[in-house]
Chains A and B, each alone.
Chain A
Amino acid sequence: MDEKVSRKNLIKRIRNKYGRYWYRFKRNKLSIVGLGVLIALILMAILASLITPYPSNAGLYINLSQENLPPSLAHPFGTDMLGRDILTRIIFGLRYSFLLVGVVLSVTVIPGVVLGLIAGYYPKRWFSILIMRVADIFVAVPPLLLALSIASVLTPNITNAMFAVSLAWWPWYTRLVYTSTTSIRNEDFVRAAEVIGASPSHIMFSEIMPNLLGTILTKVSLDAGWVILIGAALSFVGLGAQEPTPDLGTMISEGAAYLPQVWWISIFPAIFIVIIILAFNLLGDGIKDMFSSSIR
Chain B
Amino acid sequence: MAAILEIKGLKKYFKTRKGTIKAVDDVDLEIEEGEIFGLVGESGSGKTTVANIIMGLYLPTSGEIKYKGNNIAIPINKRPKWLKKEIQIVFQNPASSLNPKKTVRQILEVPISIHRPDAPLPQTIYELLEMVDLPPEFIDRHPEELGGGEKQLVAIARALSTEPSLIVLDEPTSSLDVSVQGKIINILMKLQKNFGLTYIFITHNLSLMSNVANRVAIMYLGKIKEIAKSEEFFTNSFHPYTKMLLSSIPVITEEEEKLKPKKILSTGEIPGALKLPEGCSFHPRCPFVMDVCKVKDPPLIEVSPNHLCSCHLYLNKQ
Query: Which of A's residues lie within 8 Å of B, judged by CB?
Result: 2-3, 5-6, 9-10, 13, 17, 187-189, 191-198, 200, 202, 207, 210-211, 293
Does the CB pair B100–A188 fall under 8 Å?
Answer: no
User: Quick check: A196 and B98 within 8 Å, CB to CB?
Assistant: no
A195 adjacent to B140 (CB under 8 Å) = no
Assess the B93–A196 pair: CB atoms within 8 A.
Answer: no
For A2, what are the chain B residues with a Cβ–Cβ distance below 8 Å? 122, 126, 136
Complex Cα spacing A197 to B159, Å: 12
A197-B84, A202-B110, A293-B144 as given contacts; A192 in contact with B89, CB under 8 Å: yes
Given A187-B96, A189-B99, A210-B102, CB of A196 within 8 Å of CB of B111: yes
Q: When the two chains form the complex, which single residue of B77, B99, B137 contacts A200, counting CB atoms closer than 8 Å?
A: B77
Query: Would you call B136 and A207 a contact (CB within 8 A)?
Result: no
Q: Which residues of A contact B88 (CB under 8 A)?
A: 195-196
Instruction: Evaluate contact between B85 and A197: CB separation under 8 angstroms.
Output: yes
Residue of B whose beta carbon sits closest to that of A196: B111
B137 CB, min distance to chain A CBs, angstroms: 6
Contact between B162 and A196, CB atoms less than 8 A apart: yes
B14-49 interface mask toward A, CB cutoff 8 Å, 1 = contact, 0 = none? 000000000000000000000000000000000000
A160–chain B nearest beta-carbon distance, Å: 39
- The reply to whether A197 and B111 contact each other, CB–CB distance below 8 Å, is yes
Contacts of A10 in B (CB 8 A): 140
The 8 A CB mask of B151-167 against A (1 = contact, 0 = none) is 00001001001100000
6 pairs from A and B in contact (CB 8 Å cutoff): A9-B137, A188-B96, A191-B57, A191-B97, A197-B81, A197-B162
A187 contacts across to B, CB distance below 8 A: 96
User: Is the pair B57, A211 in contact by a Cβ cutoff of 8 Å?
Assistant: no
Which residues of the other chain, A, contact B84 by a CB distance below 8 angstroms? 195-197
Residue B114 CB within 8 A of the other chain: yes
Is B101's CB within 8 Å of the partner chain A? yes
B81 smallest CB distance to A (angstroms): 6
Partner of A192, one of B97, B142, B144: B97
Q: By the criterion CB–CB under 8 Å, are B98 and A189 in contact?
A: yes
- A211 / chain B contacts, CB cutoff of 8 Å: 99-101
A194 touches B77 (CB 8 A): yes
| B158 / chain A contacts, CB cutoff of 8 Å | 192, 196
A115 to B144, CA, bound (A): 30
The A contact surface, by secondary structure, is: helix
* Top-8 shortest CB links A-B: A210-B101, A188-B97, A196-B111, A197-B84, A188-B96, A189-B99, A188-B91, A194-B76
Chain A residues lying within 8 Å of B228, measured Cβ to Cβ, are none
The residues of A that contact B137 with a CB separation of less than 8 Å are 5-6, 9
- Using a CB-CB cutoff of 8 Å, which residues 63-88 of chain B contact chain A? 76-77, 81, 84-85, 87-88
Say yes or no for B55: interface residue by CB 8 A criterion.
Answer: yes
Residues B93 and A188 in contact, CB atoms below 8 Å apart? yes
Residues of A within 8 Å of B115, CB to CB, are: 196-197
Contact among A3, A197, A207 for B99, CB-based, below 8 A:
A207
A residues in contact with B103, CB < 8 Å: 13
> Does B212 belong to the interface (CB within 8 Å)?
no
B139 at the interface (CB under 8 A from A): yes
Is the pair A193, B89 in contact by a Cβ cutoff of 8 Å? no
The distance in angstroms between the C-alpha atoms of A10 and B126, with both chains bound, is: 15
A6–B140 contact, CB under 8 A? yes
With a cutoff of 8 Å between Cβ atoms, the chain B residues found around residue A207 in the complex are 99, 102
Kindly list chain B residues whose C-beta atoms are within 8 Å of the C-beta of A13: 103, 140-141
Closest residue of chain A to B97 (Cβ to Cβ) is: A188
Q: Considering only CB atoms, which chain B residue lies closest to A210 in the complex?
A: B101
B169-190, CB under 8 A of A: which get 1 and which 0? Answer: 0000000000000000000000
CA distance A90 to B294 in the complex (A): 86
Residues of B within 8 Å of A6, CB to CB, are 122, 136-137, 139-140
The docked-state distance in angstroms from the alpha carbon of A187 to that of B115 is 23
Are B114 and A195 neighbours in the complex by a CB distance under 8 Å?
no
Contacts A197-B81, A197-B114, A198-B110; A9 near B140 (Cβ below 8 A): yes
Complex interface: chain A residues within 8 A of B144 (CB): 293
On chain B, the residues within 8 Å of A196 by CB distance are: 84, 88, 110-111, 114-115, 158, 161-162
Nearest chain B residue, comparing its CB with the CB of A213: B101
The residue on A at minimum CB distance from B76 is A194
Task: Find chain A residues with CB under 8 A from B162 CB.
Answer: 196-197
CB neighbours (8 Å) of B155 from chain A are: 192
- Could you say which residues of chain A place their CB within 8 Å of the CB of B99? 189, 193, 207, 210-211
A80–B109 Cα distance when bound, in Å, is 64
Cα distance A193–B95 in the bound complex, in angstroms? 15
User: A188's closest neighbor in chain B, by CB?
Assistant: B97
Bound: A76/B91 CA distance, A: 67
In the assembled complex, how far is the CB of residue A204 from the closest CB belonging to chain B, in whole angstroms? Answer: 13
- Cα–Cα, bound, A187→B136 (Å): 27
Q: Of all chain B residues, which has the CB nearest A8? A: B140
